[in-house]
Chain A
């Protein structure tokens, strides 16, 4: 529970950097001891806090579809990735095919590089998307 709160604090500071630092298409994958993870989640790896995302600290199961949303506010994400007029439906967090229902891990991977789902059919550019 304490880690969840810490996670939220860390996230808030990263949000600012994320919105301000546009145009970075690189990966944020980093090696933390035996496992790869995201640089902005470094604090979870310090404390081996797998349970921030996984149900137990053994990390034997995949996180729940809404696990990321215990720290990341969906409304804020929708706002941050809003698309210009005429392309509203291309917002990855609120799009015309699936609305807000796409589980985060269908586009984002914490421990591995991933491609966003839209790329299956479309050549959209999401400059802030980290592989």
Chain B
């Protein structure tokens, strides 16, 4: 039977079963403006575990709950398609102590990885969470492989990481993970309902989250709110609803520089209303103003596009130059915030954005499949000589030539005298013709802020500093883990591990 059929069968059985699935009282008439004060008996549905969001965190939680014996797990997804932002990101997965690290002779550990993350987090990251995630990242990676995710047979070293430790899916997108996980969820009997938007929590008189109001038949962006149904959850509600990078009002309220003029790599549905609901029932807001922009994005395409993965792979053996001066202006593999800040400072004489140009030898660029797409879809360019390159981008040739020659001595000597870049992945990779170029400019990518959780994925209450009974959060919607700057490829292990952890906590209660 095809997946699609299974899904729809699931869905139909689920909808038909609403009258018999342990519902204590069928709900008739208009639903009141729901609040904790409503009688708890008025339920339309009942499930063992209710998960909001179908990205990495929600899918990992559903699979782990099933493995631990959960009989009835439901995932509600507000968008028409499944996978959330996880389905469109770069598919980069950092983990220490993996088989590929052993094969490539890389020395690493959970403490070293968490240490790199603490450094990028600029003193305000959550060390306990980072260590917990790093210590189980390899296990989470294995879960995706067991479900059918496929990765390139080599590691990448991303900005801010002290060693190469990043896997990437062969389709260079998180879709290479969400698709197998969705399939696995269906195989295990997890119910997945699309066009179903979380509206609010149902809280009992003791302040415990005992259910949620879900608008079924919600059509994102089409003005159809759907029909509210009250869903009881026996073991609590897990919010795995992602960040708010696509909510311009919310993000610019936190950081006024992030107006509508700054594009985003995220899906339009990354709007954060589930996060705001958590605050309404008492969750602690953490680091809401720390919103990351991706320094590998391109102003020449929409969303995450193709240049992002291309740049992430190629930065270690490329130079990024200021168009006006022909000179480098940053360590091309510094952490994201360092690079994005440096890029945003590239301006013409009137102060208008002047996206820098990243130059890579075709010889080394071509080792990654994205280069073909970058050239084919006109978001990158190939040149046979440095003169042609300089002319096309309007870069002063003499200065550029000087910079390239200077940088090539760093490649030879293994020491970057300009910016102290780690030359581990640049060994023997001189900047030589033919060249490939792309333009880079930051896009809003990741929201570090969210609701505070503990290492058991329990959401803390701002009045008691104890977990809010029945409320769990995992993934980007939780806050504080990464501090001021999340390292690339560290979100997937975060989402996966905390999703698994949430399921374990819910199942052990």
The interface of chain A, by Cβ under 8 A from chain B, is: 62, 65-66, 69, 74, 86, 89, 95-103, 106, 117, 119-124
CB distance from A48 to the nearest CB of B (A): 24
Whether the pair B4, A103 counts as a contact (CB closer than 8 A) is no
Whether the pair A98, B176 counts as a contact (CB closer than 8 A) is no
- Of chain A, the residue at the smallest CB distance from B173 is A96
- Of chain A, the residue at the smallest CB distance from B174 is A97
Chain A residue numbers with a CB within 8 Å of B80 are 65, 102-103, 106
CB distance from B118 to the nearest CB of A (A): 33
Report the Cα distance A65→B218, complex, angstroms: 12
Overall SS of chain A's interface: loop
- Of chain A, the residue at the smallest CB distance from B183 is A99
Interface status of B171 (Cβ within 8 A of chain A): yes
List CB contacts (< 8 Å) of B190-210 with chain A: 194-195
Whether the pair B87, A121 counts as a contact (CB closer than 8 A) is no
CB distance from B53 to the nearest CB of A (A): 15
10 A-B pairs, CB-CB below 8 angstroms?
A: A95-B175, A96-B173, A97-B87, A98-B175, A100-B3, A101-B82, A103-B81, A106-B81, A120-B303, A121-B88
Report the Cα distance A74→B2, complex, angstroms: 10
Chain A residue numbers with a CB within 8 Å of B306 are 122
Whether the pair B4, A66 counts as a contact (CB closer than 8 A) is yes
Please list the 7 inter-chain residue pairs (A to B) with the smallest Cβ-Cβ separation, ordered nearest first. A121-B303, A97-B175, A96-B171, A96-B175, A97-B87, A121-B302, A98-B81
Report the Cα distance A121→B265, complex, angstroms: 9
Given known contacts A86-B369, A96-B175, A102 and B81 CB-to-CB distance under 8 angstroms? yes
Interface status of B159 (Cβ within 8 A of chain A): no
Overall SS of chain B's interface: loop
Whether the pair A96, B301 counts as a contact (CB closer than 8 A) is no
CB distance from B220 to the nearest CB of A (A): 10
Whether the pair A100, B4 counts as a contact (CB closer than 8 A) is yes
Whether the pair B302, A97 counts as a contact (CB closer than 8 A) is no
Chain B residue numbers with a CB within 8 Å of A69 are 4
Q: B176's contact among A74, A96, A124, by CB below 8 Å, is which?
A: A96
CB distance from B173 to the nearest CB of A (A): 6
Q: A97's contact among B4, B8, B88, by CB below 8 Å, is which?
A: B88
Report the Cα distance A99→B306, complex, angstroms: 19
Q: B182's contact among A99, A117, A124, by CB below 8 Å, is which?
A: A99
Chain A residue numbers with a CB within 8 Å of B171 are 89, 96
The interface of chain B, by Cβ under 8 A from chain A, is: 2-4, 7-8, 80-83, 87-88, 171, 173, 175-176, 178-179, 182, 194-195, 219, 224, 268, 301-306, 369, 372, 377-378
CB distance from A14 to the nearest CB of B (A): 22
CB distance from A123 to the nearest CB of B (A): 5
Report the Cα distance A124→B305, complex, angstroms: 11
Q: B302's contact among A89, A103, A120, by CB below 8 Å, is which?
A: A120
Chain A residue numbers with a CB within 8 Å of B173 are 89, 96-97
- Contacts A99-B3, A101-B4, A106-B81 known; list 14 others, CB within 8 Å: A65-B8, A97-B83, A97-B87, A98-B81, A98-B82, A98-B83, A99-B182, A101-B82, A106-B80, A120-B302, A121-B303, A122-B303, A123-B301, A123-B378
Whether the pair B179, A122 counts as a contact (CB closer than 8 A) is no
CB distance from B271 to the nearest CB of A (A): 15
Chain B residue numbers with a CB within 8 Å of A119 are 302
CB distance from A59 to the nearest CB of B (A): 14
Chain A residue numbers with a CB within 8 Å of B82 are 98, 101
Whether the pair A121, B305 counts as a contact (CB closer than 8 A) is yes
Report the Cα distance A74→B195, complex, angstroms: 21
CB distance from A15 to the nearest CB of B (A): 19
Whether the pair A122, B305 counts as a contact (CB closer than 8 A) is yes
Whether the pair B4, A74 counts as a contact (CB closer than 8 A) is yes
- Of chain B, the residue at the smallest CB distance from A125 is B377
CB distance from B437 to the nearest CB of A (A): 18
Q: B7's contact among A97, A101, A102, by CB below 8 Å, is which?
A: A101
Q: B81's contact among A66, A86, A101, A122, by CB below 8 Å, is which?
A: A101
Report the Cα distance A96→B80, complex, angstroms: 16
Given known contacts A96-B175, A97-B175, A98-B81, A65 and B303 CB-to-CB distance under 8 angstroms? no
- Of chain B, the residue at the smallest CB distance from A88 is B171
Chain B residue numbers with a CB within 8 Å of A97 are 81, 83, 87-88, 173, 175, 178-179
Chain B residue numbers with a CB within 8 Å of A117 are 81
CB distance from A1 to the nearest CB of B (A): 18
Chain B residue numbers with a CB within 8 Å of A106 are 80-81
Report the Cα distance A119→B305, complex, angstroms: 10
The residue among A89, A102, A124 with the most chain B CB atoms within 10 A of its own CB is: A89
Report the Cα distance A74→B7, complex, angstroms: 14
